[in-house]
A = this chain, B = another copy of it.
Amino acid sequence: MSENINHEIYTELANRIYDLDAEVYHVLGSSLGRTFTGNRDTTIRTLSMLMYTKPDGHLLRSELALISNMARTIKDPAEKSRLMTEYDEILKAIEQLPNMFGSTDILDAERAALNLAVRREKISENDHLVICISRTQGSAGNDIGFELADKLRINYYDVEIFDQVMKRLEAEKDNVQDKENFTDFNKYGKKTHESLKTKLKELNRYHGLSKQDAVFFNMSDLICELARTEDCLIMGRCADAILKNNHIPHISIFISAPFQVRTQHVMDVRNMDMKQAVRFLKKMDKQHKKYYEFYTGEKWGKPENYDLCINSANYGIKETIDVIKRLLNQQTQ
Contact = CB atoms under 8 A, between A and B. Distances in A.
Interface of A: 32-33, 35, 54-55, 58-59, 61-63, 65-66, 68-69, 72, 91, 99, 101-102, 104-108, 111-112, 115, 117-118, 136, 138-140, 142-143, 146-147, 149-150, 153, 155-158, 160-161, 164-165, 168-169, 254, 256-259, 261-262, 265, 268-271, 301-317, 319, 323, 326-327, 329-330
B158 A117 contact: no
A142 B60 CA distance: 12
A108 B142 CA distance: 18
A54 B153 contact: no
Query: What is the total number of copies of this protein in its complex?
Result: 2
- Secondary structure type dominating chain A contacts: helix
B313 A107 contact: yes
A33 B117 contact: no
Nearest to A37: B168
A34 to B, nearest CB: 10
Contact of A261 (B62, B106, B301, B312): B106
A164 to B, nearest CB: 6
A58 B259 CA distance: 21
B65 A158 contact: yes
Nearest to A112: B314
Contacts of A62: 158, 160-161, 164
B269 A54 contact: yes
12 contacts: A55-B270, A55-B271, A58-B142, A65-B155, A69-B156, A91-B150, A104-B140, A106-B139, A106-B316, A108-B258, A112-B314, A112-B316
